[in-house]
């Protein structure tokens, strides 16, 4: 395949995905599973890392991912210590515009966390205090806004809102928590309420929801501080729920569910740090019940996400808030393939046969060949600009690797 055809392929698959007939760019890639489907990428990097092609500065404090839509880069950040702002750049790094969209989280770790979701020319956002917004992707004009936490008596956890909006057909899905409802569906076109679920009680968590299909049902997988919930995407009916608190064997981080589940062929994998057991659920053929298939004591991922590659799960576990190892677990039965120390815990994504890992303490970025035999680090470099923890997940769009550290985003060409 010549280079022009390869670039077109990367643009087509990296920027957009077809999800239930809609064109979407969103959190952790097209399927919310950490997979970025661009091909023709480098199998190793030069000693100092891949070629840097762009630096974006002044994006505001935050841990959210950049997303690329119609050859524009969208990224959220906190500015003026009080406000969440969406910044938009062209592919040369020129800032096109920025737009305030709601009050930022201003208490513990006051930075923006939520990644934009973009579909059919509209950007969907959640502010740090629960303002759900829809903006025009070309101009930033606000189409509608709903203060979901106030309107529906939401109950944020102690570190604010980290969720990224899920689009499910005509609905924008948001997890409120609280005693009035647990999850709501807002009409993505005009901001009106489509449905609200009954409340299972307790605060919201931080994990972004996922939509799956099973038994003819579209099912929303959402997490509160207490529960994993399966909801009928059409009407908000709670099909089943599972109390996650008994999985938590320690005292720290109770209710801090952080990671979007993985789903494949009727099985749901959930992991959430702080010495919680990771658990695999089997979903019934009609989608209306779940059973525990296995549990694993090693892969308790703090907030760096997990990926599934060729029947094995990869991520970084939690030993304490500043320390963790990298590990792999077999999808079929929960067997731990390996656990390896490399700097400390962090985030992981996948593209074109390789894992991309980003450790949170010193900003080391690694290219890893996945496999059940061992942790095989191929190349590494370090992100040195920016401030604060390296908590933003990497992203790959259009054959470029995006690494964020606070108010700075660096872009690297990783095409072969």
What structural domains and CATH numbers belong to the chain? 3-413 (2.130.10.10)
Distance CA 204, CA 182 (A): 8
For the segment 165-183, the average pLDDT, to the nearest whole number, is 97
Q: What is the dihedral sign for C-alpha 274, 258, 264, 376? A: negative
Residues of the chain with pLDDT > 90, as a percent, come to: 88
Q: What is the dihedral sign for C-alpha 37, 40, 43, 49? A: negative
pLDDT tens-digit series, residues 274-295 = 999 999 999 999 999 999 999 9
pLDDT tens-digit series, residues 48-89 = 999 999 999 999 999 999 999 999 999 999 999 899 999 999
Residue 372 has pLDDT above 90, yes or no: yes
Q: How confident is the model at residue 18 (pLDDT cuts 50, 70, 90)?
A: very low
Distance CA 30, CA 33 (A): 8
Contact 183, 235 (CB under 8 A): no
User: What 8-state DSSP symbol labels residue 15?
Assistant: H
Q: Which two tokens stand for residue 1?
A: 């395949």
Question: Mean pLDDT, the chain, as a whole number?
Answer: 93
In b/e form, how buried is each residue of 102-111, taking b as 16+ CB within 10 angstroms? bbbbeeebbb
Distance CA 154, CA 180 (A): 8
Q: What is the dihedral sign for C-alpha 360, 260, 75, 367? A: positive
CB atoms within 10 A of CB 81: 9
Q: Which two tokens stand for residue 6?
A: 């390869």
Q: Which residues contact 209 (CB under 8 A, 6 or more apart)?
A: 163, 166, 173, 175, 183, 220, 221, 222, 223, 260
Question: Residue 200: what pLDDT?
Answer: 97
Q: Which two tokens stand for residue 112?
A: 């923006």
Question: Residue 23: what pLDDT?
Answer: 61
Contact 175, 163 (CB under 8 A): yes
For the segment 12-38, the average pLDDT, to the nearest whole number, is 71
Q: How confident is the model at residue 209 (pLDDT cuts 50, 70, 90)?
A: very high
pLDDT tens-digit series, residues 329-356 = 999 999 999 999 999 999 999 999 999 9
Question: Residue 404: what pLDDT?
Answer: 98
83-90, strands of its sheet edge to edge:
67-69, 72-79, 83-90, 95-103
Residue 20 has pLDDT above 50, yes or no: no
User: 244: helix, coil or strand?
Assistant: coil
Residues of the chain with pLDDT > 70, as a percent, come to: 94
Residue 13 has pLDDT above 60, yes or no: no
Distance CA 324, CA 333 (A): 23
């Amino acid at each position: 395949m010549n280079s022009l055809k390869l670039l077109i392929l990367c643009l087509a698959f990296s920027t957009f995905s077809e999800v239930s007939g809609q064109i979407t760019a969103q959190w952790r890639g097209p399927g919310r599973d950490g997979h970025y489907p661009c091909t023709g990428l480098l199998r190793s990097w030069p000693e100092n890392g891949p070629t840097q092609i762009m630096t974006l500065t002044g994006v505001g404090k935050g841990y959210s991912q950049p997303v690329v839509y119609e050859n524009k880069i969208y990224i959220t950040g906190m500015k003026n210590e009080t406000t969440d702002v969406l910044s938009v750049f062209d592919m040369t790094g020129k800032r096109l515009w920025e737009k305030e969209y709601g009050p930022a989280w201003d208490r513990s770790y006051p930075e923006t966390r939520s990644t934009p979701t973009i579909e059919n020319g509209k950007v969907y956002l959640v502010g740090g205090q629960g303002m759900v917004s829809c903006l025009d992707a070309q101009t930033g004009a606000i189409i509608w806004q709903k203060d979901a936490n106030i309107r529906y008596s939401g109950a944020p956890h102690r570190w604010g809102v980290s969720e990224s909006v899920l689009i499910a057909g005509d609905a924008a899905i948001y997890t409120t928590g609280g005693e009035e409802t647990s999850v709501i569906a807002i009409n993505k076109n005009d901001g009106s309420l489509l449905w609200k679920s009954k409340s299972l009680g307790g605060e919201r968590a931080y994990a972004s929801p996922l939509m799956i299909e099973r038994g003819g049902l579209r099912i929303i997988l959402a997490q509160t501080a207490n529960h994993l919930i399966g909801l009928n995407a059409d009407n908000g009916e709670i099909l089943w729920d599972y109390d996650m608190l008994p999985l938590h064997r320690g005292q720290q981080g109770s209710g801090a569910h952080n990671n979007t589940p993985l789903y494949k062929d009727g099985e749901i994998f959930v992991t959430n740090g702080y010495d919680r057991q990771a658990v695999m659920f089997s979903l019934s053929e009609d989608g209306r019940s779940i059973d525990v298939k296995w549990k694993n004591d090693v892969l308790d991922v703090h907030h760096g996400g997990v990926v599934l590659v060729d029947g094995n799960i990869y991520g970084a576990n939690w030993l304490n808030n500043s320390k963790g190892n990298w590990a792999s677990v077999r999808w079929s039965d929960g067997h731990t393939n390996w656990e390896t120390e490399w700097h400390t815990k962090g985030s992981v994504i996948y593209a074109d046969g390789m894992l991309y890992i980003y450790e949170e303490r010193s900003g080391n970025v690694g290219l890893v060949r996945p496999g059940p035999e061992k942790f095989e680090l191929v190349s590494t470099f370090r992100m040195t600009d920016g401030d604060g923890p390296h908590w933003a997940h990497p992203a790959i769009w259009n054959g470029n690797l995006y690494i964020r550290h606070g108010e700075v985003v660096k872009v690297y060409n990783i095409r072969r």
